[in-house]
């Protein structure tokens, strides 16, 4: 594996190898010893972000540092992109400064594959348009695997704005390869036209989806990509498709809930579900667990792609 631009087409053995290494790094992070083998000492990683990010950028940076690598941060608004520089010129110039790998976030679908085609360095896709976000899906899958002890046979429902979601696509590819059953649920206007071609069940009733599922991945309503007309109003969306205690208590108390963040509180997820801490035997919110697992997954991906083994 030279690049990680998506989970589409990645065999189960590669996914499992990444998840096993992630699980080892996760155990290290939970011990809080703060030290790891500096397998990437003296390596430099360019974090090239053309879109805003909190979790993804910070966790790639921490992951790189945990393994001894240095990071260089690039923010489009503060770069020569504002002077009209092209993406390929930006990448070629950073490459000429001898950076060892690129972590790229870009608003255009396909940007990561494009960069991979013009550089000899490993490229990791940190989200490209509505295409893929492979490390987010890996961290979601790791979170589910740690909770259930397996992925094969799990029923995972993905709720909300599927149409604009690179997270949904990467999760569908990765989870299906590992043998999970997937359902998507949302208003018809926020489901891609040929979604059943991806081999997923489709629910427009949230009650049916909750009753079917073993776990839920709730997605943010991508207000910056949806330019209107997809939903009647935020209020109606949240009363029909927002995940609330009322719906969970009525249908399924034990449903682990994931969300990639950032969350729109009280729109796709209620405050109480997002922050829920339950007594043993009931499922709590997995959101913070996901964030910790994100560092572990990014350590594993950087290690695998940059260590050359
Ligand atoms: C996601 C993204 O940027 O694709 N967030 C993230 O990486 N944690 C999902 C989102 O923006 O809704």
pLDDT for the residue 110: 97
SS3 of 289, please? helix
For CA atoms 122, 127, 130, 136, give the dihedral sign.
positive
Q: Cα separation of 161 and 223, whole Å? A: 10
126 close to ligand 1 (CB < 6 Angstrom): no
The CA 88 to ligand 1 mean position distance, Å, reads 24
Rounded to a whole number of angstroms, the distance between the first and last alpha carbons of the chain is 10
Q: Which atom of ligand 1 is nearest to the CA of 219?
A: 12
- CATH number of 12-132+293-306, picked from 2.60.40.10, 3.40.50.1370, 2.40.10.350, 1.10.10.10: 3.40.50.1370
Q: Cα separation of 259 and 249, whole Å? A: 19
Name the nearest CA neighbour of 224 among 161, 266, 269.
161
Domains 12-132+293-306 and 134-290 share a fold: yes
The CA 261 to ligand 1 mean position distance, Å, reads 6
For the chain, the structural domain boundaries read: 12-132+293-306, 134-290
For a pocket test of ligand 1, which of 56, 111, 259 has the largest count of ligand atoms closer than 8 A to its C-beta?
56
Q: Which residue, judged by its Cα, is nearest atom 3 of ligand 1?
A: 127
CB burial of residue 303 (10 Å; 0-12, 13-18, 19+): buried
171 close to ligand 1 (CB < 6 Angstrom): no
SS3 of 185, please? strand
Q: What is the pLDDT of residues 100-126, one digit of tens each?
A: 999 999 999 999 999 999 999 999 999
Peptide bond between residue 286 and the one before it cis (omega within 30 degrees of 0): no
List the helix and strand counts (H, then E) for the chain. 11, 9
Which stretches in the chain have pLDDT values below 50? 309
On whether the CB atoms of residues 5 and 132 are closer than 8 A, the answer is yes
56 close to ligand 1 (CB < 6 Angstrom): yes
Fold of 134-290: Rossmann fold (3.40.50)
Q: Which residue, judged by its Cα, is nearest atom 1 of ligand 1?
A: 260
pLDDT for the residue 309: 45
SS3 of 41, please? coil
């Amino acid at each position: 594996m030279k690049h990680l631009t998506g989970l589409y087409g990645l065999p189960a053995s590669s996914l499992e190898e990444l998840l096993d290494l992630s699980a080892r790094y996760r155990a290290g992070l939970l011990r809080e010893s703060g030290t790891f083998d500096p397998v990437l000492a003296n390596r430099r990683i360019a974090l090239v972000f053309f879109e805003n990010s909190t979790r993804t950028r910070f966790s790639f940076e921490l992951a790189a540092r945990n393994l001894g690598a240095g990071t260089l941060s690039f923010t489009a608004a503060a770069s020569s992109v504002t002077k009209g520089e092209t993406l390929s010129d930006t990448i070629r110039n950073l490459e000429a400064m001898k950076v060892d790998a690129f972590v790229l976030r870009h608003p255009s679908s396909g940007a990561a594959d494009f960069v991979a085609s013009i550089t000899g360095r490993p490229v990791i896709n940190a989200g490209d348009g509505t295409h893929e976000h492979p490390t987010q899906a890996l961290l979601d899958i790791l979170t589910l695997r740690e909770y259930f002890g397996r992925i094969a046979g799990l029923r995972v429902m993905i709720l909300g704005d599927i149409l604009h979601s690179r997270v949904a696509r990467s999760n569908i590819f990765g989870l299906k390869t590992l043998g999970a059953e997937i359902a998507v649920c949302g208003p018809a206007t926020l489901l891609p036209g040929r979604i059943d071609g991806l081999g997923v069940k489709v629910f427009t009733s949230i009650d049916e989806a909750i009753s079917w599922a073993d776990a839920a991945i709730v997605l943010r309503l991508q207000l910056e990509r949806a330019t209107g007309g997809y939903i009647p109003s935020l209020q109606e969306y949240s009363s029909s498709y927002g995940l609330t205690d009322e719906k969970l208590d009525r249908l399924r108390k034990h449903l682990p809930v994931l969300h990639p963040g950032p969350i729109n509180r009280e729109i796709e997820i209620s405050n109480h579900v997002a922050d829920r801490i339950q007594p043993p035997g009931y499922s709590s919110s997995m959101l913070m667990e996901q964030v910790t697992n994100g560092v572990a997954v990014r350590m594993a991906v950087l290690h695998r792609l940059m260590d050359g083994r």
